[in-house]
Structure 1
Amino acid sequence: MELDGYCFALRSELDIRGINATLALWSNRTRDFWKSPRVTFIRIEGLVVAAAIMVLFLAIFGSWRRKRRSLFIQKGVLGAYILSSSLVTYLLGSMQSSVVKSSMYPIWAVSLYTLIGCADSITAYSLDDNKELSRQLYQFGLNTAYVLFLIFTVSSNNGYIPVALLGLIAEIKFSHRLSASQVASVSWNLNKMVADYMYQEHSKSEPAYDPASMKGYHYLVDWPLRSDSELEAGILCASDLKADAQVIHIEKVWQCKHRSLSEELKYTCLSFSLFHLLRRRFFGFECSESSFQPKTHDFVFKGLLLLKNEDGVISYNQAFKVIEVELAFMYDFFFTKYAAVYYGSWHRTFMPVASACLVPVIAYLTVSRVLKIPSGMERGTVLDTTRADVVITVAILVCIALLEVLQVLYYWTTIWGRVSLACQYVREQAQNKQRGCCMRFKEILAKIGASMSNERYFEGKLGQYSLLEESVSWYHNLSKHYFVNTIVEKVMASTDPMIYHPYNYHPWREVRKHIRVPEEVKEAVVQSLERTDGKLTNGASSLEHNRASHLSWACRDSESIVSCPQKKENQACCILTWHIATCYSEMATLKHFPASVGGELKVHFDVATTLSKYCAYLVVSQPKLLPGHHYDTRRVFEAVAKEALGFLGDNKDKYEAMRSLVVEGETPEPKETIFHKGVRLGKRLGTMEEGARWKVLADFWAEMLLYVAPLDNVKEHFECLTRGGEFVTYLWALVSHAGILKREDHLVGVGGV
């Protein structure tokens, strides 16, 4: 028995030794295989393909992020934007330091370098990226040094010509990319010229103006950019602009009778001129025209809001379309290369065509000359080039050529190309010039772009957040995972307690529900703007208009959560009070009068509930777009959400739970909480006739959204354009052009605010 046990143990030990030997053998073979010359080359080749795919992904989907909030587009573009440049830098170093050499390395390196510069649709992911010119210049110099070193150490004598040609294209394309960032970040002269011009334009006595025909409105559309422009007594040659026949303003465009100048092109030029005016605010220049009423006021109220659609009918949609195209210009200016192409010299358009013609020559030279074993290499292993390597190299070169050609053609279909074409029409009429072949070809491309002008430039959706539904649901989920959340919070706080704060980490703030902006909402907001004539209040004016002034106490803020210096600005308390009241009224209407919600009542019902949930969404997800400090806004929401959870608890019928809350008196107590004030307001609204109640709520929310729009948070509005845009940004731009830059300028009828 003991002998059998000994034999069994011996066999087990031998088996274990055999297994260990086998594993060691496999490990050594795997390591040797991974370090073999061909596998090393394939690994570099695979990373080259991956980097090329990332850059092509950016070129195709880079501008889609303004139309889609989807995780694939937003995070995909971010990942490709970050990884592409890092991966190219890593590959350049790997090719140079690797003991395995190939004649393909220089071509791949320069091709990737060229691809990065070719992506016109994205040059910056955020506004801060444009400010990092020093880092971009350093990266530009570092990559150039890597490429040159790689060319001289790896390329054969026969391969210098194609690599040098492609390298020249790469340097030019990357310099264009740098100029795009420079235009977006330090184009002070360009914006000061507009600011000085508008100051002189509105300082002089204007005999007559007509917003309908744009007579007297000399808003700049296009003007020659001279390199010898100088500052004289603080004014940047604005007087020269006024006397220059090449200067085109919106009045000239509107009066132009060129048969090819369509209404769509005129509206695009109007958007472009407004884009110039709005852009000044980002660079800190004064909007001089806002001080000269009523001309600026009438531009919006008697001009922009009375524009006609394709059927010749006055439509609010046309005004919003003009604003949307204006914001599309703004997005392109800060995040793409189109502005650099437009403001640049003629070679910016010619170079892509020339480079696209050179690439086939480079491909031919690559196949005929470079595919030879480099001579003169004493160090390292030199690999022969396979058919697959040739296919991959030629495919990358073809992608570069196609990308260049398609981007040139696409540029003339964009709003930038259409503005350039419209300005040429105006100059042709003034100079009696005949159209050439290039002009006719541009017209064809512009018509293709105009046929697609009905598409949305941004997502055009409203975020929807219901405090009584979603916050309660989140807190229930939080209680289920309380242990995990507590550990995560403590770990993050222990890393750097000076930076981390519980209010800075809120995954639940991401609102997933978004709806298309209803036409009724646009109409209600514009009608509210016209009714108040631009004299904005936080709802008090609408209450007075609807004979509901007894509810004006809900527009006054007595909440102590907000810090004293910010109490005048912050509107979170007022928004959440009315939001709770609107949710209460919505539940009451759907419970007691479900069949009666139709006709005009349904319009007011939809407008009120949609705007109420949108304003709550701004409080939760976009507090920086609201008045006051965003930290105070978040604190107010936290307090109200916790109170709502504590009161409603596990009540399945939220309406009955809120209806059972006892509120005494006509007005709230001084220390009454926001939740109780909201319920009180909802009950007071419940005493009104159904139609009148929803008319009051619809008008209130339309006016409230207008009231929070005029702020100086320019950067936050522009950053939102990369995530689909916000409806409040449209309103911010609209009231800016009416001369309403700050709420204090038009603050009436709001006691205590």
Structure 2
Amino acid sequence: MSNNLTVANPPGYGDINATWTTTFSHGIMGWWKSERGTVFRIEALVVFVAIIMVFLGAYGSRRRRRRSFLAQKVVLAAYCLSTSLVSYTLGSMQSSPVKSSMYPFWAVSLYIMSGSADAITAYSLDDNSRGMERFYQSLLGMFYVGLIAVSILNNLTGILLFINMAGLAFIKWSQRDWACQMAHHSWNLNKIVADYMHQEHTKSGTSYDPASMKGYHYLVDWPLHKAKLKAGTSYATQVTTKAGVVDIEKIWQCERLSSEQRDACLSFSLFHLLRRRFFGFDCAESPRQKTHDFVFKVLLAKNERGAIDYDRVFKVIDVELAFMYDFFFTKYAALHYQPWILPAMFSYPLIIFPIYSAVTALSPGSKLLHVRNWSAVTTTTTADTVVTLLMLTCIVLLQVLQLLLYWTTIWGTVCLACHSVRAQEASRTKRHLAFKMVERFKAIPIKIGAFISNKYCYLFPEKNKCYYWQNKVGQYSLLESVRHNTTNLSKALRALSKLSEYFVIFNREVVHPVVNISVRWSAGKPGKHVELSAQVKEALVQSLDRTQGILTNGQSSLTSNGAGDLLWACRHDNMHPPDSGTSCSKSQQKENQARFILTWHIATCYCEMAPTKDLTPRVKEAHVATTLSKYCAYLLKMEPKLLPGHQYDTYRVFDAVAEEAVEFLQSKPDKYGAMRSQTISRETTPESEEKIFFRGVRLGEQLQGMEAGARWKVLADFWAEMLLYLAPSDDVKAHVECLAGGGELITHLWALLTHAGILERGQRIVPNDLENGGAV
């Protein structure tokens, strides 16, 4: 007897079920195509777009603190959808046979919100260059909005309210478009700074004091309309000191400012100098001793105990790069550089208008809800009223958010500091009463923002500990990441590469990238980003202070640590020793450093894998060495465009060495033992025929012969000096693009070296030579 019982459905059960399903689906489809269903679809789109806009306004700028794939792509998806959904929603309103009396106000509200997401105006630098495309899209969108309004509104109250909201949308979109235009071609703004810095050193002559900033007239704030192009052989832009210019010297002389405000203004001034390089203007001050002293005697100044405040060094650069990010990817720079009266006049009305609109539209007896007597026009329902309130609430929220994010952040700090400087100057001189009244009016939003910011810091003390960037560095270890087993796909791809040598049909330009994917997969993925520790920051600052800006790829550190026998691992085959009296050519100085990075990285990993007795005396040096070694390897694998040389050369070298490591280590569970035995068996191999992987293993074995403390001291100093050597770059666009994805430590070092006048590797500065610059 079977235990499985089958219960038969009653007669007609299947027909009833099918009939019910068909009826339900027809009911849903019928409602979806009905007048109410049509309006509901548009309501859902409007609400969804409003949520996206608020998300971009609140979270858009925080992507610079997150490098995770999810955080970056969520912002990208919201940024792309915001534009396409606005166009699609407007088209749905216009083409829909059913008209709601709220359509015109929903449409114009979408444009107000899309122009109010100040936290992100561009996802990438390429977005800023699409000026004409953006202009025509906005023009076409506003045409659709006007067409919707003309076809529905028929009373004076509604028309006036719509005109007010349309004017608000025009202002917000004008600000956004101006921000993109500034980020793409603000030539005049940057030429003013470049021309000014050509003559800046003449304002103080040879007399300057880094301790008090006397003689440092770096621009902080100045009225743009008072900078004139003077006739002459150079046609340089002149900025007179009588035009209300605020410079670093005045900031340091203002008694009303705190040290945090001074450093914020210093970062803002350095941001002006760094931004010139993006637009192709030269750094005229770079060869001067005064520029060199600015970094080594101001930022790297030692206290009474002989220590350097490395936290302050990185904080100044952090804030500077935050200004850099905001200039290229947000709207804050447009708010700052535009005439002061515009934000002062429109900040508060932009909040009042939506509130007035809500009261007018939804008040009892309002004629706004009455439309033309068309049969296809629906009456306004409770859902329409709720959606309208939600839209107006989002507009108010975005306006308040804009004010808070501007006046309570670094931009507001700079505005408050510059106002304090000008107010102090006005109190010392007899200024017109009208001038003082204007200054007081300008100070109202500044002081409100400062009050809110102080309250925020009081309620959340941990805010002072946060960073403007992720404060993390990527990590990748070639030896640890090599996979033990090779997949069938990897074997097939490698076999394909072998066949490409015998068959002309294979295109090597197509085959090699595919094979490289296999090699990179076998070489593993980068590990998690780790916190940028105080020990690493201190090591980098101390290395820069020790070398005084004379950069080498680690050779100086080896010599100072008495490890001259390791210099062979830092030299090109055709380079002369530094003590031979023969200087290297400029092309050799800029040569790709991938082979040296990988050689020392493999050696460092080899020492890390080796069994050790006690590392307690050198835990700090071991941490610095391994962190920087894995970070440089991470740059090779993930960000080669930030390193010297062409990125394709870097790709090829990395792939070749990764393939060497995979071939040797993929089937060996004891990697260290295998490498140690291989080193002994290859002692007779000529150096000229030795592969980079085995050169690294040989270097690691040579390092293992040193005392543990000395070994890690050598490696820590080497990697700190090597990373500084890699930092100078002319590819400014690559560094700026990197800021949008969370930033990189090498970008911070690039900015710091730029302000020290170190623009390229191998540069030398002749002390006490102000006139001719001293670069050799």
Q: Do both share a fold (TM > 0.5)?
A: yes
Hey, what does 1:326 align to over in structure 2?
Answer: 320
1:372 and 2:369 equivalent? yes
Higher mean displacement: 36-45 or 478-487: 478-487
Change (3 A) 1:502 1:162: same
Higher mean displacement: 638-647 or 698-707: 638-647
In 1, distance between residues paired with 2:81 and 2:633?
Answer: 36
Hey, what does 2:592 align to over in structure 1?
Answer: 570
The CA deviation at 1:439 is 2.8
The CA deviation at 1:483 is 7.2
The CA deviation at 1:257 is 2.0
Amino acid paired to 1:670? S
In 2, distance between residues paired with 1:495 and 1:164?
Answer: 62
Change (3 A) 1:28 1:445: closer
Identity %: 52
Hey, what does 1:406 align to over in structure 2?
Answer: 401
In 2, distance between residues paired with 1:65 and 1:576?
Answer: 31
In 2, distance between residues paired with 1:500 and 1:367?
Answer: 66
The CA deviation at 1:512 is 4.4
Please tell me whether the aligned partners of residues 553 and 667 of structure 1 are also in contact (alpha carbons under 8 angstroms): no
Change (3 A) 1:659 1:496: closer
Hey, what does 1:710 align to over in structure 2?
Answer: 728
In 1, distance between residues paired with 2:492 and 2:696?
Answer: 33
The CA deviation at 1:662 is 3.2
Please tell me whether the aligned partners of residues 349 and 408 of structure 1 are also in contact (alpha carbons under 8 angstroms): no
Change (3 A) 1:316 1:565: closer
Please tell me whether the aligned partners of residues 66 and 725 of structure 1 are also in contact (alpha carbons under 8 angstroms): yes
Please tell me whether the aligned partners of residues 625 and 717 of structure 1 are also in contact (alpha carbons under 8 angstroms): yes
The CA deviation at 1:605 is 0.7
Which of 727, 733, 736 is the aligned partner of 2:745? Answer: 727
1:343 and 2:337 equivalent? yes
**1:501-549 residue CA offsets vs partner (Å, 9 max, x unmatched):** 4378688586341111111111111111111111101011111111111
Amino acid paired to 2:446? K
Amino acid paired to 1:270? L
Where do 1:250-261 residues align within 5 Å? 250-258=248-256, 261=257
Please tell me whether the aligned partners of residues 200 and 238 of structure 1 are also in contact (alpha carbons under 8 angstroms): no
Please tell me whether the aligned partners of residues 361 and 369 of structure 2 are also in contact (alpha carbons under 8 angstroms): no
In 2, distance between residues paired with 1:716 and 1:282?
Answer: 10
In 2, distance between residues paired with 1:656 and 1:383?
Answer: 80
1:424 and 2:419 equivalent? yes
Change (3 A) 1:21 1:555: same
Change (3 A) 1:153 1:485: farther
In 2, distance between residues paired with 1:458 and 1:206?
Answer: 38
Hey, what does 2:144 align to over in structure 1?
Answer: 146
Q: Give secondary structure in 2 for the equivalent of 1:570.
A: coil
Hey, what does 2:69 align to over in structure 1?
Answer: 71
Change (3 A) 1:333 1:637: same
**1:201-240 residue CA offsets vs partner (Å, 9 max, x unmatched):** 236771311111111111111111117833634756544x
Amino acid paired to 1:675? F
Q: Give secondary structure in 2 for the equivalent of 1:592.
A: coil
**1:425-482 residue CA offsets vs partner (Å, 9 max, x unmatched):** 1111111059847636633532654644542100010111010112x13x74755776
Hey, what does 1:58 align to over in structure 2?
Answer: 56
In 2, distance between residues paired with 1:367 and 1:302?
Answer: 64
In 2, distance between residues paired with 1:500 and 1:665?
Answer: 33
Which of 542, 559, 570 is the aligned partner of 1:555? Answer: 570
Please tell me whether the aligned partners of residues 555 and 570 of structure 2 are also in contact (alpha carbons under 8 angstroms): yes
Which of 264, 277, 293 is the aligned partner of 1:281? Answer: 277
Q: State the number of aligned residues.
A: 714
**1:346-382 residue CA offsets vs partner (Å, 9 max, x unmatched):** 213431311211111111222244663421436xx22
1:655 and 2:672 equivalent? yes
In 2, distance between residues paired with 1:441 and 1:127?
Answer: 31
In 2, distance between residues paired with 1:307 and 1:328?
Answer: 26
Change (3 A) 1:242 1:228: closer
Hey, what does 2:550 align to over in structure 1?
Answer: 535
Amino acid paired to 1:362? S
Structure 2-normalised TM-score? 0.86
1:442 and 2:441 equivalent? no
Structure 1-normalised TM-score? 0.88
**1:321-357 residue CA offsets vs partner (Å, 9 max, x unmatched):** 1111100110111111111001001213431311211
In 2, distance between residues paired with 1:482 and 1:366?
Answer: 69
The CA deviation at 1:718 is 1.0
In 2, distance between residues paired with 1:666 and 1:195?
Answer: 58
In 1, distance between residues paired with 2:510 and 2:703?
Answer: 45
Please tell me whether the aligned partners of residues 104 and 370 of structure 1 are also in contact (alpha carbons under 8 angstroms): no
Which of 116, 119, 124 is the aligned partner of 2:117? Answer: 119
In 1, distance between residues paired with 2:442 and 2:274?
Answer: 32
Please tell me whether the aligned partners of residues 223 and 243 of structure 2 are also in contact (alpha carbons under 8 angstroms): no
The CA deviation at 1:62 is 0.4
In 2, distance between residues paired with 1:102 and 1:693?
Answer: 77
In 1, distance between residues paired with 2:553 and 2:684?
Answer: 21
The CA deviation at 1:494 is 12
Please tell me whether the aligned partners of residues 727 and 750 of structure 2 are also in contact (alpha carbons under 8 angstroms): yes
In 2, distance between residues paired with 1:64 and 1:34?
Answer: 39
1:467 and 2:478 equivalent? yes
Aligned CA RMSD, in angstroms, stands at 3.3
Amino acid paired to 2:260? E
Amino acid paired to 2:321? L
Change (3 A) 1:495 1:103: farther
Hey, what does 1:7 align to over in structure 2?
Answer: none
Q: Give secondary structure in 1 for the equivalent of 2:250.
A: helix
Hey, what does 1:86 align to over in structure 2?
Answer: 84
Please tell me whether the aligned partners of residues 103 and 370 of structure 1 are also in contact (alpha carbons under 8 angstroms): no
Q: Give secondary structure in 1 for the equivalent of 2:469.
A: coil
Hey, what does 1:198 align to over in structure 2?
Answer: 197
Change (3 A) 1:312 1:322: farther
Hey, what does 1:739 align to over in structure 2?
Answer: 757
Change (3 A) 1:441 1:135: closer
**1:263-302 residue CA offsets vs partner (Å, 9 max, x unmatched):** 110111111111100000000000000122x111111111
Hey, what does 1:361 align to over in structure 2?
Answer: 356
Amino acid paired to 1:213? S
Change (3 A) 1:370 1:687: farther
1:637 and 2:651 equivalent? no
Amino acid paired to 2:259? E
Please tell me whether the aligned partners of residues 296 and 738 of structure 1 are also in contact (alpha carbons under 8 angstroms): yes
In 2, distance between residues paired with 1:217 and 1:205?
Answer: 8
Hey, what does 1:502 align to over in structure 2?
Answer: 514
Change (3 A) 1:43 1:319: same
Amino acid paired to 2:163? A
In 2, distance between residues paired with 1:430 and 1:746?
Answer: 40
Hey, what does 1:306 align to over in structure 2?
Answer: 301
In 2, distance between residues paired with 1:653 and 1:332?
Answer: 49
The CA deviation at 1:149 is 0.7
Hey, what does 1:692 align to over in structure 2?
Answer: 710
The CA deviation at 1:319 is 1.0
The CA deviation at 1:159 is 2.4
Please tell me whether the aligned partners of residues 668 and 677 of structure 1 are also in contact (alpha carbons under 8 angstroms): no
Change (3 A) 1:176 1:494: farther
Hey, what does 2:179 align to over in structure 1?
Answer: 180
Higher mean displacement: 90-99 or 360-369: 360-369
The CA deviation at 1:244 is 2.2
1:263 and 2:259 equivalent? yes
Amino acid paired to 1:445? G
Structure 2, unmatched stretches of 5+, are: 1-9, 428-435, 458-462, 497-504, 575-585, 767-776
Q: Give secondary structure in 2 for the equivalent of 1:388.
A: helix
Hey, what does 1:8 align to over in structure 2?
Answer: none
Change (3 A) 1:582 1:496: closer
Hey, what does 1:519 align to over in structure 2?
Answer: 534
Amino acid paired to 1:169? L
Q: Give secondary structure in 1 for the equivalent of 2:285.
A: helix
In 2, distance between residues paired with 1:401 and 1:364?
Answer: 13
